[in-house]
Every structure is written in C-alpha cells, then in structure tokens.
Structure 1
Amino acid sequence: MTATASALATAREDLRAHLLKHRLAGPDVPTPRQNNLRHYRLFAQGDPKALMGLAPEPRRDQDAVLRLMAERVGVDPDPRYTEGPDTIDPELTLAALDRLAALLRRTADRRGSVLAGTGHPTKLAGFHGALVRALEAAGCPVHTPARGVRFREPTPEGDRPRYLDVVDRVLVMRALDGPERPGRPGPGDLAHTHSALPVHLAVAALADAGHRPPDLVLGDHGWLCGAGRLGIPAGGIADCNDVAPFAAEADGLVRVVVPLEDGSAPSCYRPLSDYVLQRADLAPYNS
C-alpha cells in the first residue's frame, strides 16, 4: 500500500469511528424506527411534504419503500420490526461520501457552476458551505440568486410567509412572521423546510439574470429533489426517514445521496466535509 493509499485508509477508518461515536450512522441513530415507518407510509401515500418536490407517480407502496431504504440506507429490512432504534449502515455512508467527492472533483475539473441550498440551515449550512468554498477556490462560479425573494410555504398551520437568504455561500430560508407556536421560527429566524420551491425560485432568478442553470446543486431535502426534477446534477445528504432523495437517486434523478443523521450539532459534520474535500483533492481550499 502506498503512503497516499495508507493515509486515505486511515482517514476512512477515523471517519467511520466518528460516525459511530456521534451516531451519525450506526446501529442506533437518533431517528427511531417508528418515525421512519411513519415517513415511509407518508411517502407511499404521496404526501407532498414527504415527496419533497418529486412527482406523486409512479408510486412505491410501503413495502417497496422499506426495501429501497434498506438497500440505500441500511435500515432494518424486516417489516415486522416496528419500534426501537434503527440503523444507517456506516459503510453505505462512507461509500456515498466517496461518490460525492468524485462528483465534486468532476465539477472542479470542468470549472462548473455551483448552487447550494439547505433545508437544515441550523445544522448543515456549514457542511455545504465548506464544499462550495472549496469549489469556488478551485475556479467554479458559485451562484447565490434570489436573496430576499419572498414566498409562501405550506405548513401544518397553513401557508406561512418566508424569504430566501444566504449563509456561508448557501441559500437558506427564513421566516417572515411567527412564531407559529412555541419552538417554531419567528421573524428573521432560520427555518427548516422540505420544500422544493426554493430551488425553483433560485433557478428562475438565474434565468431572469441571463444565466443558464448551474452545473451542480449541493443540498438536501427539496433542494436535491427539486434540482433532480429540473434535470440539474445534484448531490448531498438525507436522513433515514427522508425517502424522497433516495428514491430520486434510485430513479436516476439525483447523482449522489449520502445516508446520514441530519440533526446533529453542526460541528459533527466538519470531519465529513474535510474527508470529502480530501478525497476530491480539494482539501487545500477548505479554510
């Protein structure tokens, strides 16, 4: 084994240990089985929030959804297992991070344009931001369109006014009113979303400014699925209860989806972005 290969193998083992220690992957991730099954059922029923911008047809039944998630994520494949901890296979996570690194390398080689957005702005903006900054330093144009654009997002409490903002070169959503109820975002607060509307607004803003669509979208939730529906190459992260991105990947709409717990402390994701950039030979640009 060469010195480089040995270093990469060590980095991979170190990252695997990190994934297990922080329950980002492994046999007892924070999202429980009953939560997973509820989301799988909603996706099978065509619930718009669960679809994250995908078309409702063709539809997978709940058994097919479970098989998909067992294959792509590593959750327990037994439909009789209905309650308790569930699993994200760390080997699937590591393999997907390697594919994400290859996608970044190809984008950097062609100096492709990049757009990044997240539905988890308090958790994942730093992860996506690190990748975007590295690509920008490698010569890739980075787009941050539609800042300040207002729209209404459907929520269980009714349509709520939102607007787009930029944090660390990553598009995010903020609330315009509220809080809807205790613990929900108030005016100006970063807001979680599954919606694909933000990526549609961003791509439309690029077109209005005379730009073609980006060569790569980095993100999660509706950013991945919406980009895929628009025919834009996309890669990013999804949790074990987020069926839509993995269905989009299986159907060839999204290039890479990394199975990963998506609700941990932002600092937990720094070793992952470091690993991806090292594998993509972009690590020197990760400052």
Structure 2
Amino acid sequence: MADAPTRAELRAHLVTTMIAGEVATPRQNNLLHYRRMAARNPYYLFGLRLSGRWDERDVLAAMVERCGVDPDPGHLYGDDTIDPDLTLDALEAMGDRIGLAARRRETLLLATGHPGNLTPLYQAVSEALTDRGCRVLTPASGWTYEIERYGERQTRRVVHTPEGVAMLVDDAGRPQHTHDAAPMETMLAELRGGPRDTATEPSTIASDGFAEAKPAYWPDLAIADHGWAGAAGEAGVDTVGFADCNDPALFAGAAEGKIQVVVPLDDGLSPHHYAPMTAFLLARAGLA
C-alpha cells in the first residue's frame, strides 16, 4: 500500500480523476433515479424502508446537502457534481468507525455491487481489519437466485473473495454489478439462524478462487454499497458505505439514521484510481 496522501493531496486527486468535483455522471440520469426513488421503486430504495416524505424536491435537497450535486432544479442535462470536501469529510468519518471496529475487534460484513471497480478497496480494508483480530463473515456463499434482464432470466450467485468481500457472479463466474438488496437480506437471514458452533467453520476455496465458508455470527459493522448497504442498515447493523450521485437511497437512509456514513463518489472508475483514497482511509483508521 502506498503512503497515505494528505487531505489536500487527496482532494486534488479526487478532482483530477473525477471521483469527485465535476463528475461524468449525467444530470439527467441523476434526476431519473431521484424520481424513481421518490416513487418508491424498490430497485432504487436499496432495501431501505424510508419513513420520510421523500418527494423529488426532498431527494434533490438531500443530495445537495450530503453529496454536493448542483442545487439548480432547472439543471436538467449535462454533467453533475460531487463536493470533494464532503467526500473527504465522509472518508474521515468512515475511517473513524473502521478504526473503532479494529480496536473492538468487531465482527464484519463487507460487500460490493461494484465488483469491477471497488473490490480492491474492500479487500484492503478487510485484510487490515483481519490483521487486527476482526472476524469477517461470509454467509450464504453459493446462494443463487434469478433476475430478469433484457427479457431473459439470468442466475446470480453470492460468492466471497478470499478476503471475505461478498459480490454476485453469473453462471460463468463473472462478477456482476447490482443494486439488489436480496443478497444481503439472504446473508443476514442465514446469520439470524444462529451459530453452528462457537467458532467459524473452516474456510474452503472453490475452484473459482472464492471462499465458501459460512460463519454464523451477527455483524457489528457492515462496509458496503448499493443494496448490500441498504439492507444491512435496514436490519439495524451499523453500516458505512459508498454511493454515487445517482444513488440517493443511501443518503436518504443516512438522513433517517439508518446508515452511519455515506461517502459520495463516482463509483464506476478504474480500480487503481481509488488506491490513494484507500490509503487515506486506512491511515485515518490507524491501520496503515
């Protein structure tokens, strides 16, 4: 892991790489997602049952406050913004919570709906926490379900990397992007079934390189994004996560106290762009 950048250095990196600042996420896509969340479309709620009114105006106001998107409701097309200082503030808050988990040797869940982009970040956090004595759970490994995509039924399977980061793969074992809350809901449902014994079951590595262990403990902390984070927060698990400016549900969940920290960022960039941010996060947590 490279040396951690200073806050000023990381801010410059965030803006240069368009992780924050002027981002490439289309404004029209943001507004479409805000409308769909306001309409309580389940796919855009990320597993959260929100109690607030959350009409389109409320959603935009929350995204201005917590993410830094353009406040002009007349801005309908073009690119949008993420305030890099809000990103940094949230990274520091996330680092503080991860540091607390390390000191307490907490039990954790880590999961991502952006496996092609954010997996190395989650793996680095998982490794650092495991080295400090934390337990990373890997429930529901191998669980499959079907989704409808492009008019076809497709199978998705929950797997975990050797570091314990949960994600979905298709029938060919290729990691899949998802907003769905069902995988995390299933993981938590398995954990609710009670421990099999007093220790984690031995981990085995399948031929595709993913761990198939099924420990059965309730997590103290979830580190996640998309529906993985929303479902964990809805279940009452302390949850910190990442969200793009077109993913308003986690910010709404934070406003209602169901999510502890949401880091606003463009979550669809090349993995190496997040390396300085990862180093900053681990340093803040005292894990560098």
Q: TM-score, normalised by structure 1?
A: 0.88
| Residues 1:197 and 2:179 are matched in the alignment | no
Where does residue 33 of structure 2 map in the other structure? Answer: 39
RMSD of aligned residue pairs (Cα, Å): 1.7
Deviation string, structure 1 residues 206-261 (Cα, Å, up to 9, x no partner):
33361331001111001111001100001111000000110111100011100000
1:150 pairs, out of 137, 141, 144, with: 144
| Residues 1:12 and 2:7 are matched in the alignment | yes
Ranges in structure 1 where 5+ consecutive residues have no aligned partner: 1-6, 177-186
**How many angstroms apart in 2 are the aligned matches of 1:23 and 1:206?**
38
Supply the AA of the counterpart residue of 1:16.
R
1:65-214 matches, within 5 Å, as 65-155=59-149, 157=151, 159-167=153-161, 168-176=163-171, 187-208=172-193, 210=195, 211-214=216-219
| Residues 1:253 and 2:286 are matched in the alignment | no
**How many angstroms apart in 1 are the aligned matches of 2:51 and 2:254?**
15
Q: Which has the higher contact order (CA 8 A, sep 6+)?
A: 2
The residue matched to 2:100 in structure 1 has which SS? helix
Q: Could you tell me whether the CA contact under 8 Å between 1:96 and 1:256 is conserved in 2?
A: yes
Shift of 1:156: 5.6
**How many angstroms apart in 1 are the aligned matches of 2:37 and 2:188?**
26
Where does residue 179 of structure 1 map in the other structure? Answer: none
Where does residue 281 of structure 1 map in the other structure? Answer: 286
Q: 1:235 to 1:77 in 2, by over 3 A?
A: same
**How many angstroms apart in 2 are the aligned matches of 1:275 and 1:56?**
32
Supply the AA of the counterpart residue of 1:271.
P
User: Which moves more between the two structures, 67-76 or 164-173?
Assistant: 164-173
User: Which moves more between the two structures, 47-56 or 207-216?
Assistant: 207-216
**How many angstroms apart in 1 are the aligned matches of 2:122 and 2:287?**
14
Shift of 1:132: 1.2
The residue matched to 1:30 in structure 2 has which SS? strand
**How many angstroms apart in 2 are the aligned matches of 1:88 and 1:136?**
32
User: Which moves more between the two structures, 130-139 or 54-63?
Assistant: 54-63
Deviation string, structure 1 residues 152-205 (Cα, Å, up to 9, x no partner):
2354635532111112420110112xxxxxxxxxx3211111011111111222
The residue matched to 1:31 in structure 2 has which SS? strand
Where does residue 220 of structure 1 map in the other structure? Answer: 225
Supply the AA of the counterpart residue of 2:164.
R
Supply the AA of the counterpart residue of 2:69.
V
**How many angstroms apart in 2 are the aligned matches of 1:157 and 1:233?**
37
Q: Could you tell me whether the CA contact under 8 Å between 1:23 and 1:261 is conserved in 2?
A: yes
Where does residue 181 of structure 1 map in the other structure? Answer: none
Structure 1 residue ranges (4+ consecutive) displaced by more than 4 angstroms after TM superposition: none
Identity of aligned residues (%): 43
Q: Could you tell me whether the CA contact under 8 Å between 1:174 and 1:190 is conserved in 2?
A: yes
**How many angstroms apart in 2 are the aligned matches of 1:237 and 1:54?**
15
Q: TM-score, normalised by structure 2?
A: 0.88
| Residues 1:267 and 2:272 are matched in the alignment | yes
Q: Could you tell me whether the CA contact under 8 Å between 2:50 and 2:256 is conserved in 1?
A: no
Ranges in structure 2 where 5+ consecutive residues have no aligned partner: 196-215
Supply the AA of the counterpart residue of 2:33.
H
Supply the AA of the counterpart residue of 1:202.
M
The residue matched to 1:193 in structure 2 has which SS? coil
Q: Could you tell me whether the CA contact under 8 Å between 1:46 and 1:59 is conserved in 2?
A: no
